[in-house]
Amino acid sequence: MAKIIDGKSLATRIKAEIKAEIERDKLNVGLAVVIVGNDRASEIYVKYKKDDCAECGIQSFEYALPEYVCLEDLLELIEELNDDENINGILVQQPLPRHIDAVTVNETISPFKDVDAFRADSLGKIALGDYDFSPCTPAGIMEMLHNENISVSGKECVVIGRSAIVGKPMALMLLHEDATVTICHSKTRDLGEAARRADVLVAAAGCPGLVGADMVKEGAVVIDVGMNRDESGKLCGDVKFAEVSGKASYITPVPGGVGPMTRAMLMKNALMAKRLQL
């Protein structure tokens, strides 16, 4: 039976360390969270982020804009936040309404306040292996692996998903730690064949139950990034947890795995932003 990697308790420990560091160094750290429209899931994520800020002793500033806001007004707000000394990090909750170009929004955030590492140059720096802000989800996964003393050096790591915020930076971060990395995606011809080679398998496709036991090598480490809703509306991952835990050596649950770690890494990046701006 696989060991369950408890992302929730590790995240709680990391947030306590961040709080202690902020108190010790008497820092005022401020994080701005901008939300556009009334997407229910986004509202829940923003509430979680506010709670995380409170837990870490970080001041959170929330800006809720209506669904119909125009791009110019949103960019104007971001420019104001870029210039505001009380704000160290800026996060614009995604997805954004269709009429708002997310790339333009991300590129408007100051490189010193890009705590989500969504800017093109932030991703470029990650590719070079020399960066300040780690992309939160892959960084959280690396922390979980380190905490379990799982080395990826020389191992076969397979990442399912090639998005700019999860799959690609995940693959790069594994590569920086000397893994042999394969990236799979929706056009991959034989996903099962690639996945079965993995010593470490990261599923980030957003497809409920995509990864079954038949796609997992005996003893593999399985990280489930997926956050989906099943037919009954219950949160579920990309991995069939019950059957895969019988074959894997380690597995992350959904909820309580990658999600809380992603949020803890955001807090870490907010503190990093403060230090960069001192």
The least distance separating ligand NAD from the CB of residue 118, rounded to whole angstroms, comes to 11
If one asks whether residue 228 binds ligand NAD (CB under 6 A), the answer comes out as yes
Q: Which residues contact 217 (CB under 8 A, 6 or more apart)?
A: 196, 197, 198, 199, 247
Q: Which CB atom, from 87 or from 137, has the smaller least distance to ligand NAD? A: 137
Residue 43 backbone phi and psi in degrees, to 5: -60, -40
Identify residues 7-66 at the interface with ligand NAD (CB under 6 A): none
Q: Is residue 161 part of the contact set for ligand NAD (CB under 6 A)?
A: yes
User: Is residue 137 close enough to count as binding ligand NAD by CB under 6 A?
Assistant: yes
Residue 74 has which token pair?
């949103």
Q: How far apart are CA 81 and CA 60, in angstroms?
A: 13
Nearer to ligand NAD, 105 or 184 (CB): 184
Q: How far is the CB of 254 from ligand NAD (least distance, A)?
A: 7
Nearest CA to 156 out of 114, 210, 200, 119 is that of 200
User: Other CB atoms closer than 10 Å to residue 44's CB: what's the count?
Assistant: 10
Residue 7 CB neighbours (<10 A): 27
Query: Which of 77, 165 has the CB closer to ligand NAD?
Result: 165
Please identify which of the residues 15, 93, 155, 240 carries the catalytic annotation: 93
229 binds ligand NAD, rule: CB under 6 A: no
Q: How far apart are CA 193 and CA 70, in angstroms?
A: 46
| Selected catalytic residue, list 15, 52, 114, 116 | 116
Q: How far is the CB of 260 from ligand NAD (least distance, A)?
A: 8
Please state, in angstroms and rounded to a whole number, the distance separating the CA atoms of residues 8 and 14.
10
The contact mask relative to ligand NAD for 168-207 (x = CB under 6 A, - = no) is: ----------------xxx-x--x------------xxxx
94 catalytically annotated: no
Residues β-bridged to residue 241? none
Q: Are 182 and 157 in contact (CB under 8 A)?
A: yes
Name the residues that contact ligand NAD, by CB under 6 A. Answer: 137, 160-163, 165-167, 184-186, 188, 191, 204-207, 210, 225-228, 258-259, 262
The residues carrying an active-site annotation are 49, 93, 116
